[in-house]
Structure 1
Amino acid sequence: MIYGYIRVSTEKQTVQNQQFELTRFAKNKNISIDHFVEETISGMASLQSRKLGILVKNLKKGDILIISELSRLGRSLLQIMGLLNICMEKGVIIYSIKENYELGDNINSKVLAFAFSLSAEIERQLISQRTKEALARKKAEGIILGRPKGSKSRLECNPCYHAKDKILAWDCKGESHTKIARRLGVHRDTLRRWFIISGNDHLLKGKNYRNSKID
């Protein structure tokens, strides 16, 4: 069996790019992916809580697992190495497209996988350390971190903020919010968001408006 594994970290990300990439790779190899396994979950999540865990458990000798890159398997050195070791012991072949790796049960594959994972782990730690050092340096220099005091709130940044009295007066007269938005030169969704963040959401008309959420 040939499997394609796809993982994204958030709902805002799409699996379509990875699926296209895996399908194109398989076509170039003159093979066909029998089954795709897709999931939206952090790479730091335990193997037991992921669909990948079930997939790896069911893999058999001779199966092929195709991924877009090794980081899809996990976000830590131990996690990636553990998965690769399980697959190699089972006699499963792993194709990692981005790195152009074909990993199997041989010493070269194990050394290559270890070197890549170690490099990626070290790089993540270095980035984290550099970020912490930069923040500490700014703090030592007296630079205030975070939003400066006195900066505009989200409500004040809304284009409708300075027309509050006019908006409430027009609404009181029974004017539609579409018309009010047109008067102000803003989109009606901008006006709806202002009603919500300004505490006037009770003036919104209709069930959909009342259930609106701020982006």
Structure 2
Amino acid sequence: MVVAYLRVSTNKQHLENQQEEIKKFAAHRGLDIDKWYHDVVSGKVHSNDRKLGDLLESLQEGDCLIVTEVSRLSRTLIDIMNIINTCIQRKIVLHSTKEGYTFENNLNSKILGFAFGLVAEIERNLISIRTREALAVRKAEGKKLGRPYGSCPQLNVLIQNKEKIIELMDNSVPYKKIAKKYKVSICTVNRFVKQHINESK
């Protein structure tokens, strides 16, 4: 199966250019697109909280995923790296048309994937260092650290629907489906259950 994934950040942007580029790429490679997926969402949103998450889960060994640029997958290098590695390990071929990248289960792809991974690890370490330095400065200035209680919008959505969520849990609905229903991350669902359901028992 050959699948194309398109993403724009806002409704004011258009998907047509990406779609035409992928069509030309597929025609040149003799590929027929079986399914088209598109997201209108910021690339900073984790892939699991977009249609891309369901798309990646549905792909099987030997399937092909086409994007115009790897930045269509995510705006964070760490997330991009995880997606690339997932595709390589599951033997899913990933094409990026503009950059000319093809990631598959071969040595060249693994070397390229390693290079991406090294850069992602450096980026992750730099983010960690910058975060610690910023927190140290705030602490030295006497400012209170952490998010004020009750200021997390995603968590508040779950709190407002606590009874409905308990009913879903009683019916063995997976956390992932609950997260998707209320448009929050799985981490937020886990946090909600721990803080507002388990502790109240």
Question: TM-score with structure 2 length normalisation?
Answer: 0.57
SS in 1 for 2:66: strand
Instruction: Supply the AA of the counterpart residue of 1:93.
Output: V
Mark the CA change 1:82 to 1:119 in structure 2 (over 3 Å): closer, same or farther.
Answer: closer
CA distance in 1 between partners of 2:67 and 2:117 (Å): 15
**What residue is the counterpart of 2:13 in the other structure?**
13
- The alpha-carbon deviation at position 119 of structure 1 amounts to 6.2
Matched-pair contact (CA < 8 Å) for 1:2–1:65: yes
- Please give the residue correspondences for 1:1-215 in structure 2 after superposition, counting only pairs within 5 Å: 1-115=1-115
Structure 1 counterpart of 2:89, one-letter code: E
Q: How many Å separate the matches in 2 of 1:98 and 1:41?
A: 21
Residue 118 to residue 16, structure 1, CA distance change in 2 (3 Å): farther
Classify 1:73/1:100 alpha carbon distance in 2 versus 1 (closer, same or farther; 3 Å).
same
- Per-residue CA deviation, residues 90-114 of structure 1 (Å, 9 max, x unaligned), is 1100111111111102232132244
The one-letter code matched in structure 1 to 2:80 is I
Cα deviation, residue 53, structure 1: 0.2
CA 1:85/1:17 → structure 2, altered by over 3 Å: closer, same or farther? same
Flag as ranges the 4+ runs of structure 1 deviating above 4 A. 116-122
Distance (Å, rounded) in 2 between the aligned partners of 1:99 and 1:116: 14
Distance 1:21 1:28 in 2: 11
Aligned partner letter, 1:54: D
Which SS does the other structure have where 1:81 is aligned? helix
Alpha-carbon distance, 1:115 to partner:
3.2
User: In 2, are the aligned partners of 1:26 and 1:33 still within 8 Å (CA)?
Assistant: yes
Unaligned runs of 5+ in 1: 126-215
CA distance in 2, matches of 1:110, 1:76: 20
| Percent of paired sites with the same residue | 42
Q: Would you say the 8 A contact 1:80–1:117 is kept in 2? A: no
TM-score by length of 1: 0.53
The answer to whether the Cα contact below 8 Å between 2:46 and 2:74 also exists between their aligned partners in 1 is no
1: distance between equivalents of 2:11 and 2:5? 17
Structure 2 residue identity aligned to 1:82:
N
**Aligned residue-pair number:** 124
* RMSD value, Cα: 2.2
What is the DSSP-based 3-state SS (H/G/I as helix, E as strand, rest coil) of the residue aligned with 2:112? helix
- Alignment gaps of 5+ in structure 2: 127-201
For the residue of structure 2 that corresponds to 1:111, the secondary structure is helix
- Give yes or no for contact 1:95–1:103 (8 Å, CA) kept in 2: yes
Q: Helix, strand or coil: the match of 1:44?
A: coil
Contact 1:77–1:118 (CA under 8 A) maintained in structure 2: no
Residue 46 to residue 106, structure 1, CA distance change in 2 (3 Å): same
